[in-house]
A = this chain, B = another copy of it.
Amino acid sequence: MVASGGVIPFLMPEQRNQEFMQALPGFRDFLPHDCAVRNYIFARWREVTRRYGFVEWDGPVLESTELYKKKSGAEIVDQLFNFTDKGEREVALRPELTPTLARVIAAHEREFKKPLKWFSIGRFFRHEKQQRGRLREHFQLNCDIVGETSIAADAELIALAIDLLRGFGFSDDDFVVRVSSRDAWLSFVLERLAPGQNTSSVNDAQFRRLLDILDKIERQNEKDTNAQLREFNASVNDVWAWAEKTRRILEDPSHQEWLGRPGTTLSNLHQLLHQQIIPRGLKNSVEVDFSVVRGLAYYTGIVFEVFSRKRKLRAIAGGGRYDNLIGQLSDGGTQMPAAGFAMGDVVLGELIRDTLAAREQMQSAIATQGKIDIYIVVAKEERRPDALAQIQKLRENGYRVDYPLAPAKVGKQFQTAEDLGASLALLYGDEWPQVKVKNLATREESLIAHQALLDSVAKFFNISASA
């Protein structure tokens, strides 16, 4: 059946129903296995981030739309899930955490000693076309250091990003942190157009045009790029040569004199490498790469992105210094230097699945985490009340215990015990008032008095735990 004259796709009632019985496009259901993967990622994020002395915080997932316009301009609204609520408020599902951080810092910074090392794990939303690694609802870890201008904060964040990935079983062969700074391109513009002058002579709009060109340089054909670079008296080759020359100079600890030249304030990046990354032994995880041009409208210093070495996936993580943003969002109320990064769950999840060591580590962690300790086999229904009393006591003592809610054959109950990964099965049946205890790994069986079971179980798990 086709609706006569209709141009809008027509859904049959059953199709409509089918659609409404699925998650919305770009949203995910987390069945138990997917949820275990998600929890594994969150647990590693929390564990490693806390090693760095970060403390967790969070904001609401719904904020005033104004907060995002203020940071990113009115055009951001096209990518938001935003609406007018029943109180006539313009609200949006958060696309990122930084505006909320700025809002909370402006309101509360006096309550805390600086620098703040804060992290957060939560859901974020974008109304964009679905594609691989890009969903409408995803999860992000955000780590920020607020109130510290020193390059040590940038280094702390980069070291943390590296340790986070190592925490998932990745090595230097799997990923690399690419650090960059727009200062390299400020000095490029000076060199090409106004040699010997300082950065204040660089036209801001012209500089942004250069950054836009750089952002597209690998995707656009060289001829077009050369045409665009003409206003800088430069070619694609000049750009790459400059990037490479600057990179080499930065990686050489003796090139202090060059860094002192007016307008070439790349000394931060030089310091980062030689006073922070190298002493920490992280040289092999970090590369200077000036082709990384990342939201430079709001970053004010070093920026970095973490990429897979093997695959052309989107960045695993990215961030940088944004010393002006909190001031700008609070209308100048709170000037506060800050740096931070975010790591999403989607690209990271794909990389884990595609990398043997990381995948095996995850599978093993999930399998261990999902196991129960003890399965109670109710072999005689008359013994169910005694079994229930034992189950209650074992759970109160912290054991993970399961049992058949309804009567079932003994063989099927043992199968369930295996499926749930139980270490012990306790059988309530003819042996009463003794209980048959079966070690499901070794198949050993013994008879223990019902009343003495708790002690016996405690002994078993202490022995297992220390083995």
Query: Do A61 and B64 touch across chains, with their CB atoms under 8 A apart?
Result: no
A151: nearest residue on chain B (CB-CB)?
B405
Q: In this assembly, does A215 line the interface, its C-beta being within 8 Å of a C-beta of chain B?
A: no
Interface residues of A in 237-276 (CB under 8 A from B): 275-276
* Stretch in A107-115, A206-214, A442-450 touching the partner: A107-115
- A34-84 with Cβ < 8 A to chain B: 34-36, 38-39, 50-53, 55-64, 66-67, 70, 81, 83-84
Interface size class of A (residues with CB under 8 A): 35 or more
Contact in complex: A104, B385 (CB < 8 Å): no
- Residues on B with beta carbons closer than 8 Å to the beta carbon of A399: 51
Q: Quick one: given A55-B32, A405-B152, are A27 and B400 in contact (CB under 8 Å)? A: no
A171 smallest CB distance to B (angstroms): 13
Tell me, yes or no, whether A409 is within 8 Å of chain B by CB. Answer: no
Q: How far is the CA of A385 from the CA of B30 in the complex (A)?
A: 44
Chain B residues near A107 (CB-CB < 8 A): 21-22, 29
Q: A137-B61, A137-B62, A405-B156 are in contact. Are A56 and B29 (CB under 8 A)?
A: no
Contact in complex: A51, B276 (CB < 8 Å): no
Asked if A85 lies at the interface with its beta carbon under 8 angstroms from chain B, I say yes
Which residues in B have their C-beta under 8 angstroms from that of A333? 21
Asked, given contacts A21-B107, A53-B420, whether A93 binds B62 with beta carbons under 8 Å apart, the answer is yes
Is A218 close to B, CB under 8 A?
no
A47 nearest in chain B by CB position: B398
Query: Do A62 and B87 contact each other (CB < 8 Å), given the known contacts A145-B405, A148-B405, A150-B406?
Result: no
| Contacting pair A388 B52 (CB below 8 A) | no
Most buried by B among A23, A399, A416: A23
Residue pair B51, A400 in contact (C-beta under 8 Å): yes
Cα(A333)–Cα(B152), bound, Å: 59
Given A20-B67, A152-B406, A104 contacting B420 (CB threshold 8 A): no
Instruction: For the complex formed, measure the closest distance between the CB of A337 and the CB atoms of chain B, giving whole angstroms.
Output: 11
In the bound complex, CA of A427 to CA of B406 (Å): 62
CA distance A97 to B322 in the complex (A): 38
The 7 closest A-B pairs by CB, nearest first: A53-B402, A83-B83, A279-B385, A27-B60, A152-B405, A30-B58, A280-B392
List residues of chain A with CB under 8 Å of any chain B CB.
17, 19-25, 27-32, 34-36, 38-39, 50-53, 55-64, 66-67, 70, 81, 83-87, 89, 91, 93, 100, 103-104, 106-108, 111, 113, 115, 117-118, 120, 123, 125, 127, 137, 145, 148-150, 152-153, 156, 159, 163, 166, 275-276, 279-282, 330-331, 333, 370, 372, 384-386, 388-389, 391-392, 395-396, 398-402, 405-406, 416, 419-420
